[in-house]
Structure 1
Amino acid sequence: MDFSALENVELVEIVNPNETNEIELSKLTPNPYQPRLKDTEVTELASSIQENGQLQPIIINQDNVIVGGHRRYYACLSLDKPTIKYTRVKTTVQQLYSFSVIENEQRQSLSAIELALSYKKALDENIYSNAKDLATSLNKSEAHITKVRNMLKLPIEIQDDIIQNKRKVSVETLSTLLQVKEKNQMIDLYHGYIKGLINRNDILDAVKKAKQKPSRDILKISKTSFKMDMKISHLDDDKRLELEEEIRKLISKFEE
């Protein structure tokens, strides 16, 4: 059994790593932090197991919770197999969560929104007390954790589309999209991106254009009962000074 994915999870004690046993499927519990697998993944593996048998054991912990090998578990379940081969490890709750995230990142099976929801769940359920501890556990920067969690600020229409259609849109691209202030424009740019009509640079250009303001020379004078906006960019310097002096005189009359 290849335990290389476990190497990134701090302090995982492997119990009898060279010993392979079998356990009844009914005694196992899926990892509560493992996202739902696609039916096609399970069906394809079930066909392989039916033809070639179970080539690798799953990994379970001291409480019979599945740490790794959920596809094999569900595939054997669909084939009505009574038992499954396993290797046991000892884990904490934090390690159980970390391994789930690391395993899915290695398989690139999580969308940006699913990853954000996973981080949110870890913090909401106090698996980790803060984002810094979560980042340390996953060997990520705290800035990365924050950036991913910000994906949940996207309009719900975008979040639902990414999850339902398994969109492979990078966190970087979605972060750029988040800089768009108008919701409708953000949604339009998103659909343009997933249809291949625009790229990330086009989204950046849209953000820059939205931030640009018309260059106007405005003279604004305010008083409790008096407010005046005047566009004076068309005046030359002498006329502008003359106008400003007249306005000051006008204001002084209001103050008398």
Structure 2
Amino acid sequence: MSKRLGKGLDALIPSLSVSEDDKVIEIPLKELRPNPFQPRKAFDDENIQELADSIAQHGVIQPIIVRKVLKGYEIIAGERRFRASQVAGKKTIPAVVRTFSDQQVMEIALIENLQRENLNAMEVATAYQALMEEFKLTQEDLSARVGKSRSHIANFLRLLSLPEEVKEYVSRGTLSMGHARALVGIKKEDLILMLAHRAIEEGWSVRQLEEAVQNLETKRKDNDKDKDKKTDPYLVDVEQTLQSRFQTTVKIRNSSKDKGKIELNYYSRQELERLLEMLNNM
């Protein structure tokens, strides 16, 4: 088991395992409270019900791990068993009492969930940030504690800079971690949202989104070079209006006072067809 867990948890393994020498006590469910540092925000109701059915028939086979607090006990490991016992109508649950610091409790909850892949990307990012802020840890400190590379931690923390709407997409699984990483380098929120919406609506792969971001960056550099050449505020306003209308990058290139061309960017065959349909209906 220890080989599967982060290095930061290795020293805690003996305290998480239950042996025949441990004193197991029955604790009333009403005296227990969930781990306040639990990074997992959503529990699958169907899985909880299945576990509740098993507990109703066989009882709780593996005791949960708790620590004593001012009013009752706090769950360290075993919240699913606790929730399922509530659903099963149990009054008590077998438990082993341990002593843990707040930092150990946060690390245990985070690493256990990471190993089971129970957390979505935003829950992981939020948990990393909470650990760093609560215990004044650097990224290097956190890397050593949870057994993950510094680049891994940095990539997750960058997700926290995304707009709330996009973070919600990632939390629900509408956008993947890969999609989020492709968007995180964009500075303008409206462009992030535009590309996120396009990725969802068009079913873009991570590669397609990365290409769209790259094309957008290339256009931005071209725009920077052309700033001195285009000072007409009317054309700037028209570009912004068309970009909002077509939900894609629009570029107006004027070759003379009254002549020029309008460019509409697309990032997939499906999006090209969408733009053509919009133009045909105008």
TM-score (norm 1): 0.71
Q: Residues 179, 68 of structure 1: CA spacing in aligned structure 2 closer, same or farther, 3 A cutoff?
A: same
What RMSD over aligned residues (CA atoms) do the two structures have, in Å? 3.0
- Alignment partner of 1:27 is 2:6: no
> Which residue of the partner structure matches residue 251 of structure 1?
none
Q: Residues 77, 29 of structure 1: CA spacing in aligned structure 2 closer, same or farther, 3 A cutoff?
A: same
> How far is 1:55 from its partner?
2.5
Q: Residues 16, 96 of structure 1: CA spacing in aligned structure 2 closer, same or farther, 3 A cutoff?
A: same
- Alignment partner of 1:152 is 2:152: no
> How far is 1:115 from its partner?
1.2
- Alignment partner of 1:38 is 2:40: no
Q: Which runs of 5+ in 2 are unaligned?
A: 229-282
> Which residue of the partner structure matches residue 113 of structure 2?
104
Return the alpha-carbon distance in structure 2 between the equivalents of residues 61 and 5 of structure 1. 24
Percent identity of paired positions between Structure 1 and Structure 2: 27
> Which residue of the partner structure matches residue 183 of structure 1?
189
Given the alignment, which residue of 54, 57, 66 partners 1:60? 66
> Which residue of the partner structure matches residue 246 of structure 2?
none
> How many pairs does the alignment contain?
215
CA contact (8 A) 1:17 1:87 kept: no
Given the alignment, which residue of 79, 90, 103 partners 1:94? 103
TM-score (norm 2): 0.65
**Larger radius of gyration, structure 1 or 2?**
1
Between 1:82-91 and 1:112-121, the stretch displaced more is 82-91
State the secondary structure of the residue aligned to 2:135: coil
Residue-by-residue CA offset, 1:139-189 (whole Å, 9 max, x unaligned): 1122222221111111111112333x354712x431121123443332233
Q: Residues 94, 205 of structure 1: CA spacing in aligned structure 2 closer, same or farther, 3 A cutoff?
A: same
> How far is 1:75 from its partner?
1.3
CA contact (8 A) 2:6 2:146 kept: no
Return the alpha-carbon distance in structure 1 between the equivalents of residues 55 and 37 of structure 2. 25
> Which residue of the partner structure matches residue 253 of structure 1?
none
Return the alpha-carbon distance in structure 2 between the equivalents of residues 27 and 123 of structure 1. 30
> How far is 1:199 from its partner?
1.0
Higher helix share: 2
Quick one: which amino acid aligns to residue 130 of structure 1? T
> How far is 1:98 from its partner?
1.0
